[in-house]
Amino acid sequence: MSGQQRTRVDTVFDGIFDLILSGEIPLGGVVNEATLAERFKVSRGPVREAVKALQGRGLIVKEPYFKARVVDLDVKDMIEIFQLRESVEGMSVKLATRAMSDESMNRLLHDFEQAGGNGRVLDLHVRIAKECGNRRIESLLCDELYYLLRLYRARSGSTPGRHDNASAEHWQILRGMKSRDAELAESLMRAHIARATAALQRLLDTDTANANAPAPAQPRRERKESEA
């Protein structure tokens, strides 16, 4: 009675996803149905459905009869995502602070003492989202936004100079959660993400300033997808 039947669509979905995350298909790159079908040894049908699903998840953009392309994330997109995260993750940590059992809380704290800030930055955010008890918020954060974040960071490293502060802010949030002060934890989380947003905003400002003066910015011409 094991449920997961893993149809070919799922396989192709994960396959394309990996190709995008690994950068084999670059951001903004073309997604060719026939090529992918041959690569995964399936017909074009499953590929089409997988692409449709990726499209629904926002990783691929496409218009009828036009080539599908991987989403091309710029700083402006990231700011929009961070504004959304600021609100949703605030709620996420508030709900988690109220919903988590004492043992879950202790386990969370223990894991992060162990890691000592080594783990990837998103780990705490994922962990909180999974504990908040609201499946829709969990899905929004874990299944949609965090993938886009990973995609963006894979291309252009996370904003410099943030990492040291971020770790301290994470510990503040954890302390707020431990003391069961849901509103405090929410405020801290929102401030935490708002600071990152501000960093992105500064990056955008300098970028546009640079883009205005020298103006070598070639419009992104079609990037050929290199086949392996």
Partner DNA sequence: GGCTGTAAAAGTGTCAACACTATCAGCCAT
Partner DNA sequence: ATGGCTGATAGTGTTGACACTTTTACAGCC
Q: Does 7 bind DNA (CB under 7 A)?
A: yes
From DNA, a copy of itself, none, interface partner of 91 (C-beta below 5 to 8 A by class): a copy of itself
Phi, psi of 47 (to 5 degrees): -60, -45
Q: Which is nearer to a copy of itself, 71 or 108 (CB)?
A: 71
What's the token pair of residue 211? 């883009």
No. of H helices and E strands in the chain? 10, 3
Angle at 154 between CA 144 and CA 32, to 5 degrees: 70
96 burial type by CB count under 10 A (0-12 exposed, 13-18 middle, 19+ buried): buried
Minimum gap (Å) between residue 214 Cβ and a copy of itself: 28
> Nearer Cβ to a copy of itself, position 139 or 210?
139
**Binding partner at 195 among a copy of itself, DNA, none, C-beta below 5 to 8 Å by kind:** none
Q: Give the integer Cα–Cα distance in Å for 107 and 187.
A: 23
Look at residue 134 and give the partner it binds from a copy of itself, DNA, none, a contact being a CB closer than 5 to 8 Å depending on partner kind. Answer: a copy of itself
Binding a copy of itself by CB under 8 A: which of 22, 34, 41, 64?
A: 64
Would you say 33 or 72 has its CB closer to DNA? 33
Closest approach of Cβ 161 to a copy of itself, in Å?
25
Q: Does 219 bind DNA (CB under 7 A)?
A: no
Tokens of 133: 């008890």
Dihedral of CA atoms 158, 160, 161, 162 in degrees, nearest 10, equals -20
- Give, as ranges, the residues between 87 and 146 that touch a copy of itself (CB under 8 A): 87-88, 90-91, 95, 134-137, 140
Length of the chain in residues, anyone?
A: 228
| CB-nearer residue toward a copy of itself: 112 or 190 | 190
In angstroms, how far is CA 115 from the centroid of its own chain?
21
Distance of CA 184 to the CA centre of its chain: 25
Q: Which two tokens stand for residue 4?
A: 């997961």
Q: Which two tokens stand for residue 193?
A: 């993400």
Q: How far is CA 116 from CA 21, 39, 90, in A?
A: 27, 41, 23
Q: Which one of the spans 28-36, 51-59, 116-124, 198-206 is the region binding a copy of itself (CB under 8 A)?
A: 51-59
Among 65, 114, 215, 226, binds DNA (CB under 7 A): 65
- Contact footprint for DNA (CB under 7 A): 1, 5, 7-9, 30-34, 41-46, 48-49, 62, 64-68, 222
- Contact footprint for a copy of itself (CB under 8 A): 3-7, 10, 45, 48-49, 52-53, 55-57, 63-65, 77, 80-81, 83-84, 86-88, 90-91, 95, 134-137, 140
